[in-house]
Amino acid sequence: MTLLDRTRGVLQRAALAYRGTPHEARLVATAARLDAPLRVAVAGRVKSGKSTLLNALVGERLAPTDAGECTRIVTWYADGHTYRVVLHPKTGEPRQVPFHREDGAVEVDLGGMPPEDVDQLTVTWPSQALRTVTLIDTPGIGSLSEAVSRRAWEVLAAEEDETPADAVLYLMRHLHSGDVEFLRAFQDTEVSRPNPVNAIGVLSRADEIGVGRPDSMSSARRIAARLSADPLVRRVVQTVVPMAGLLAETAVTLTETEVGHLRRIATQPPRTVEGLLLSTDRFLEQMPELGLTSMERQHLLDRFGVFGIRLASTLLRRDGITATDLSRDLVARSGLDELNGVLSSLFYRRRDVLKSRSALLALDRLLHEHPVPGSVALSGELEEVTASAHPFNELRVLSALRAGWVAGKPEVLADLEHLIGGTGTAVHERLRLDPEAGLPERTAAAGQALARWQRRAENPMTPHELVVAARVAIRSCEGLLADLAAVR
Amino acid sequence: MAQQTPVRAGPVGGTDAVAAARTVVEHGLRACEAYSRPDLADRLTAAQRRLADPGTHIVVVGEFKQGKSSLVNALVGVTVCPVDDDVATALPTYVRHGEQTAANVVLDGDPPLREPIAVDQIRLHAVEGGGNAGGVRPDGRRVAGVEVLLPRSMLASGLVVVDTPGLGGLGSTHAAASLAATSMADAVLFVTDASQELTATEMDFLRRARDLCGTVLCVMTKTDFYPAWRQVRDLNTAHLVREGLGEVRLLPVSSALRTRAVKTSDAALNTESGFRELVRVVTEDIGVGGATRAAQDAAREVVAVCEQLAGQFRSERSALADPASAQRVIDDLTQTKSRVESLRTNASRWNQTLSDGISDVSADIEHDLRGRIRRVVNDADDALGAGDPADSWPQMEAWLQSRISYELVANYTYLRDRASDVSAQVGEHFREVSGDDLGLLAVYNPTPLLSRTEFNPDIKLERMTARKQTMVALKGSYSGILMFTMLPSLLGVTGLAPIAIPIGLLMGRAGLRDEKRRQLTQRQAQAKNAVRRYCDEIQFVMGKDSRDTLRRIQRQLRDHYTARADELNRSTSQALQSATESVKRTQADRDRRVKDLDAELGRLAQLRQRAEAVGG
């Protein structure tokens, strides 16, 4: 029986126990979540580029973006058969509301309702990308009250509350570790708490790091790598990936007209282009011979930024490059491919575990807050699922590891983290092998890992915490070996 | 397009006043030599030295990654401060004038020690993780900063541009240290980039810097990269006006354009970069301001020297011109001499005021520091008691550091103000005695020519000198800079590693509640202890630092006034000697001598007038 089935079973029995209470509907909804796509929230501070990133992931300019603060209401973007927007007010029934598209972005008519009275908006949109994931756009929180910032981070998986999102993308601008804001950057969301098992950090606006220099992305990559290794960051996210959000959004929504304009720039000698792009003022005003109006130039700047124009006009110098080629190149260079890769290995492939986790957390809270006859039995059942499901144990060890609670040699801890799927759940990722490695090689590596961790678990010198973690690792190795045997 | 005129790093500023001051100081020196007063000559030589290098400090501050180092590089037209996309500046870098390009590391101490390094090694010392940044040497000396000497004409008027580490948000350690640094600066360049408006944090820092320093400029960088910079500039100007900082000028600049302009000698691009205006403000408004102040100070020294010399001659002349009153003059001078001699002893009033004042201040500062630290500890206890330190410790650590640094800055500001008061008081008590005596010397002024400039001790001037003395002592003390390096390293010393929680807790929940509560109490106690240890350490180090600073101020003030007393004593002795001799002279001899003296006095009066014109 799979984890998802067991979770579904517990939820069904709970729905029976709560039949006739107001909570029944909630339990049914929770069970329905198991079959729906994974919910990923995009969170971060004001102006960190959340809506831009969301658009890049969907491949359409759905969420409105602006130079000023723009997203004010939590907005869900989900796949569906028709285009429609449903408004959920804080009090009262949800209702469908009219909308229009402004430059592609969905502009919702709230019907005179002030944004603070709106709980959330749900945008249903037929889209390939939204079939695997439901995205939640959140307003950034600019300042925090003392009470919020002092609230302890509950990293213990079993003690968390229910959250609307199964996983979170945390966007951050380049922050220095000596920055007081640094820690706060992770604390500003109501949809899900940061947790190294279900959160990924995104170093957004990566092109600004090198002030638009051509090597900006490699600088950003270096910084992201450093952040990923920072103990404070490791406590809250699994990894950090760099991303030039604006470039990614533009690349996936590139138009022929834009490419045409860029081609005119690309035909100029490189030195001339360099001079033109020295400053945004120069780009807007100089070289009338390009035949671009100031509005067209402004549009290019808004869509690409200095970095994007520099990059695109350089790429367009190659012979026979089409708009599609350019789009693909820009996507690759923006870091979007990398982010999609990380999302798929850390979130999508583990979606059953993440979804079960969300559902069981919701049930746990309900059982504690509103006990009914049969709650105790259900609690026991829930405990059995959470304690016996190996993926949960892996997640717990992972969060303990990330919080720095397991002591050991760095290379031993790195080995452990890989084995329990901390850097990706595919077999080669767990065993730190080449993706091309053949079956015998995989089997051999899994066997060696098993022997290694059995030794560690039995060694009387191993600290208690590491022994507990080692048992989980052994179980992971056994699972790997069983899977590999099944393939054979 | 651009005309090909070379872009220079800027004109030499304040030259007129400085040149005039230099001339009067030279004349003064010649006079000292002619009248064989090497003691007074020493005083003028010191003034000459200060004139050559007034050390006008411009401190460049701002949040992390706003382009401070790039701004400094673009300003001086050479890459001296390491610029990196990720790694930030870790130590203050002092860029000043030198005959040749050279670099030193500055080691903490009294006086600070300089160790030459290769120019391409600056990076190793000035940036984070550079290996040596902020490190403690085997001999216990801490690296406090990096000094770069450049042969740029722009710096020749004595400008020192100081690049500092980023603030890291209001309430961080670096912000506090930067504030301490601004309190000693002649001007502050606050750097913010054009990506967004000034934040509340930046605004708060600007306000504090304005209160501490007076001359504050806001520089908005990266205008080449952000298309909306004009909008941001207008928003920022509005913010500044609304916050009552309307006098702070906002200068939009692009370091990238300036660097290119310097490389290609493109004057139009230089203007476009906004640096022409910035360089003008820095060299003319700030640099000239500093040079002019130095010139005025030097000229005032000449006035004081003239006063001493003239006083001595005048009493001799009175004795010569009126032999009948000669004995009275001699009697008066003898009395004066004994009084002036008493000024040099430890029992003199100013000396008493100085020792009492400094020990009072020392006790008060210590008390103030203790009170502040105690409040911090209490607040920390409350906060730790309310939650689980295992979760809140990282925030707690940051909070503690920032709180402590702000308390230290407040304590330090208090020290500065109190020390200034003591210094002013000492000056007043010294003047009470010496001023009368100088006045006495002037009473016998028979020359109508000189009557206009009858000696009237300028109290305001005296106070200013007293304040300057304190600032000089403080500037030499490196207290503020100590904080750049001291606080973070201390946290390491006390060993506040993350507090461990057994993994057993993670595996299921049953029966663990009590164990958890017990562990929570234990963690809280552990955390509270750590906070106490840290605060004790801070109190110990800071207490010693402020005691040392005060001792330095005391020594400096004592030396200053003892030298003044020695000069006075010598003037009086010589006057007395001349007066005594004059009694023995023949009439013809006397007439000749009176004529000579009148000529000398005339010359001195002239010099004095010229010096006064420069001194303003």
Per-residue pLDDT of B250-286, as tens digits, reads: 999 999 999 999 888 889 899 999 999 998 888 888 8
Distance to chain B for A175, nearest Cα, Å:
8
User: First-to-last CA distance in chain B?
Assistant: 46
Residue A140 lies in a domain: yes
Interchain pair A393, B507: CB under 8 A: yes
User: How high is the pLDDT of residue A126?
Assistant: 92
Which tokens belong to B285? 């408004």
Distance to chain B for A103, nearest Cα, Å:
20
B503 contact residues in A (CB cutoff 8 A) = 397, 400, 405-406, 464-465, 468-469
Mutate to test the interface with A, among B69, B170, B224, B384 (most CBs of A within 10 A): B224
Q: Is A176 helix (H, G, I), strand (E, B) or coil?
A: coil
User: Residues B173, B401: contact at Cβ < 8 Å?
Assistant: yes
User: How high is the pLDDT of residue A304?
Assistant: 92
Residue A116 lies in a domain: no
Distance to chain B for A418, nearest Cα, Å:
19
Please state, in angstroms and rounded to a whole number, the distance separating the CA atoms of residues B283 and B14: 9
User: How high is the pLDDT of residue B480?
Assistant: 42
Find the length of chain B: 616
Of the candidates B215, B285, B278, B298, the one whose C-alpha atom is nearest the C-alpha of residue B17 is: B298
Output A387-390 pairs: Cβ under 8 A, ≥24 positions apart: A387/B507, A387/B508, A389/A3, A389/A6, A389/A356, A390/A472, A390/A475, A390/A476, A390/A479
Q: How confident is residue B465, by pLDDT bands cut at 50, 70 and 90? A: low
Contacts of B210 (CB under 8 A, 6+ apart): B216, B245, B248
Distance to chain A for B550, nearest Cα, Å:
31
User: Residues A82, A124: contact at Cβ < 8 Å?
Assistant: yes
Interchain pair B222, A209: CB under 8 A: no
- Amino acid present at A237: V
Interchain pair A179, B169: CB under 8 A: yes
Find the length of chain A: 488
Instruction: Dump the DSSP string for B532-576.
Output: HHHHHHHHHHHHHHHHHHHHHHHHHHHHHHHHHHHHHHHHHHHHH
Q: Is A422 helix (H, G, I), strand (E, B) or coil?
A: strand
Whether the predicted pLDDT of B11 surpasses 50:
no
DSSP bridge partners of A199: A168
Interchain pair A222, B166: CB under 8 A: no
Total number of domains in chain A: 3
Residue of A nearest to B86 (CA): A223
**Burial tier of A260 (Cβ tally within 10 Å: 0-12, 13-18, 19+):** exposed
pTM of the predicted protein model: 0.72
Shared domain for A71 and A153, answered yes or no, is yes
Contacts of A197 (CB under 8 A, 6+ apart): A157, A238, A357, A395, A398, A399
Q: Which of A325, A359, A390 is the last residue of a domain?
A: A325
Interchain pair B173, A178: CB under 8 A: yes
Residue of B nearest to A383 (CA): B508
Which tokens belong to B216? 């504050």
A67 contact residues in B (CB cutoff 8 A) = 228, 231
Residue of A nearest to B402 (CA): A180
User: How high is the pLDDT of residue B218?
Assistant: 94
Of the candidates B122, B129, B120, B119, the one whose C-alpha atom is nearest the C-alpha of residue B87 is: B129
Mutate to test the interface with A, among B86, B127, B392 (most CBs of A within 10 A): B86
Q: Is B501 helix (H, G, I), strand (E, B) or coil?
A: coil
Nearest to B254 among A220, A279, A397 (CB): A279
Output A294-303 pairs: Cβ under 8 A, ≥24 positions apart: A296/A261, A298/B227, A299/A258, A300/A258, A300/A261, A300/A262, A301/B227, A302/B227, A303/A246, A303/A250, A303/A258
B227 contact residues in A (CB cutoff 8 A) = 280, 284, 298, 301-302
The size of the A-B interface in CB pairs under 8 A is 137
Nearest to B88 among A176, A209, A405 (CB): A176
Distance to chain A for B367, nearest Cα, Å:
29
Please state, in angstroms and rounded to a whole number, the distance separating the CA atoms of residues A178 and B169: 9
Residue A64 lies in a domain: yes
Which tokens belong to A238? 């699994």
Distance to chain A for B564, nearest Cα, Å:
49
Give average pLDDT by consecutive 10-residue segment, chain A, 488 residues. Answer: 87 89 85 89 77 90 68 83 88 88 82 79 90 84 32 26 73 61 44 63 85 83 84 77 92 92 91 88 87 90 91 89 92 91 84 86 82 85 80 78 75 89 85 89 93 90 84 90 84
DSSP bridge partners of A97: A85
pLDDT digits (tens, 9 = 90+) for B574-598: 888 887 887 777 778 888 888 888 8
B131: left (phi over 0), alpha (psi -120 to 50) or beta: left
User: How high is the pLDDT of residue B111?
Assistant: 64
Distance to chain B for A128, nearest Cα, Å:
34
- Strands of the sheet containing A84-89, edge to edge, are A95-97, A84-89, A118-124, A75-78, A133-137, A38-44, A167-172, A199-203, A240-242
Whether the predicted pLDDT of B75 surpasses 60:
yes
Contacts of B409 (CB under 8 A, 6+ apart): B176, B179, B180
Nearest to A178 among B168, B223, B498 (CB): B168
* Separation in Å, CA B275 to CA B77, B164, B266, B268: 11, 20, 12, 11
pLDDT digits (tens, 9 = 90+) for B328-376: 778 878 888 888 888 877 778 888 888 898 899 899 989 998 999 899 8
pLDDT digits (tens, 9 = 90+) for B391-404: 667 667 767 776 77
Task: Output phi, psi for A482, to 5 deg.
Answer: -65, -45
What pairing do the DSSP bridges indicate for beta strands A118-124 and A133-137? unpaired
Residue A113 lies in a domain: no
Please state, in angstroms and rounded to a whole number, the distance separating the CA atoms of residues B552 and B479: 12
Ranked by mean pLDDT, the top range of A281-290, B346-355, B425-434, B473-482 is A281-290
User: Residues B92, B163: contact at Cβ < 8 Å?
Assistant: yes
* Separation in Å, CA A315 to CA A214, A271, A455: 12, 15, 54
Which tokens belong to B419? 């020390």
A223 contact residues in B (CB cutoff 8 A) = 85-86
Kindly indicate whether the ipTM for this predicted assembly is greater than 0.95, answering yes or no. no
User: Residues B24, B302: contact at Cβ < 8 Å?
Assistant: yes
Contacts of A378 (CB under 8 A, 6+ apart): A10, A13, A14, A17, A363, A367
Mutate to test the interface with A, among B70, B71, B84, B85 (most CBs of A within 10 A): B85
User: Residues A226, A393: contact at Cβ < 8 Å?
Assistant: no
- DSSP E strands in B22-100: the ranges are 56-62, 93-97
B507 contact residues in A (CB cutoff 8 A) = 387, 393, 396, 468
- Amino acid present at B384: L
Please state, in angstroms and rounded to a whole number, the distance separating the CA atoms of residues A212 and A307: 4
Alpha carbon B579 to its chain's center = 45
Nearest to A180 among B172, B200, B260 (CB): B172
Shared domain for A265 and A226, answered yes or no, is no
User: How high is the pLDDT of residue A66?
Assistant: 62
* Separation in Å, CA A128 to CA A77, A166, A263, A347, B355: 12, 20, 30, 17, 83
Residue A104 lies in a domain: no
Shared domain for A285 and A419, answered yes or no, is no
- DSSP E strands in A54-198: the ranges are 75-78, 84-89, 95-97, 99-102, 105-108, 118-124, 133-137, 167-172
- Amino acid present at B288: V
Hey, how many other C-beta atoms are within 10 angstroms of the C-beta on A169?
28
Residues of chain B with CATH 3.40.50.300: 53-273
A301 contact residues in B (CB cutoff 8 A) = 227
DSSP bridge partners of B528: none
Whether the predicted pLDDT of B99 surpasses 70:
yes
User: Residues B395, B301: contact at Cβ < 8 Å?
Assistant: no
Please state, in angstroms and rounded to a whole number, the distance separating the CA atoms of residues B515 and B505: 9
CATH number, domain containing residue A32 = 3.40.50.300
Which tokens belong to A298? 């402004």
Task: Output phi, psi for A78, to 5 deg.
Answer: -130, 155
Of the candidates A182, A312, A191, the one whose C-alpha atom is nearest the C-alpha of residue A246 is: A312
Interchain pair B65, A210: CB under 8 A: no
A468 contact residues in B (CB cutoff 8 A) = 503-504, 506-507
User: How high is the pLDDT of residue B22?
Assistant: 87
Interchain pair A212, B171: CB under 8 A: no
Distance to chain A for B271, nearest Cα, Å:
13
Please state, in angstroms and rounded to a whole number, the distance separating the CA atoms of residues B549 and A402: 45
Please state, in angstroms and rounded to a whole number, the distance separating the CA atoms of residues A172 and A49: 9
A155 contact residues in B (CB cutoff 8 A) = 391
CATH number of this structure's domain B53-273: 3.40.50.300
Please state, in angstroms and rounded to a whole number, the distance separating the CA atoms of residues A363 and A343: 26
B64 contact residues in A (CB cutoff 8 A) = 175-176, 178-179
A157 contact residues in B (CB cutoff 8 A) = 506
Distance to chain A for B282, nearest Cα, Å:
24
A387 contact residues in B (CB cutoff 8 A) = 507-508
Instruction: Dump the DSSP string for A448-485.
Output: HHHHHHHHHHH-TTS-HHHHHHHHHHHHHHHHHHHHHH
pLDDT digits (tens, 9 = 90+) for B115-159: 888 888 887 777 766 554 445 566 666 677 788 999 988 888 778
Distance to chain B for A444, nearest Cα, Å:
30
Shared domain for A73 and A2, answered yes or no, is yes
Q: How confident is residue B166, by pLDDT bands cut at 50, 70 and 90? A: confident
Of the candidates B582, B569, B316, B334, the one whose C-alpha atom is nearest the C-alpha of residue B446 is: B316
Radius of gyration over every alpha carbon of chain A, rounded to an integer in angstroms? 25
Interchain pair A150, B224: CB under 8 A: no
Give me the domain span that covers residue A483: 406-487
Nearest to B503 among A226, A306, A468 (CB): A468
Residue of A nearest to B221 (CA): A211
B85 contact residues in A (CB cutoff 8 A) = 209-210, 216, 219-220, 222-223
* DSSP structure class, residue A36: S
- What's the sign of the alpha-carbon dihedral B179, B128, B282, B248? negative
**Burial tier of B398 (Cβ tally within 10 Å: 0-12, 13-18, 19+):** buried
Q: How confident is residue B446, by pLDDT bands cut at 50, 70 and 90? A: very low
Distance to chain B for A165, nearest Cα, Å:
22
Interchain pair A405, B504: CB under 8 A: no
Residue of B nearest to A154 (CA): B391
Interchain pair A179, B498: CB under 8 A: no
Please state, in angstroms and rounded to a whole number, the distance separating the CA atoms of residues B586 and B604: 26
Residue of A nearest to B200 (CA): A143
Residue of A nearest to B67 (CA): A211
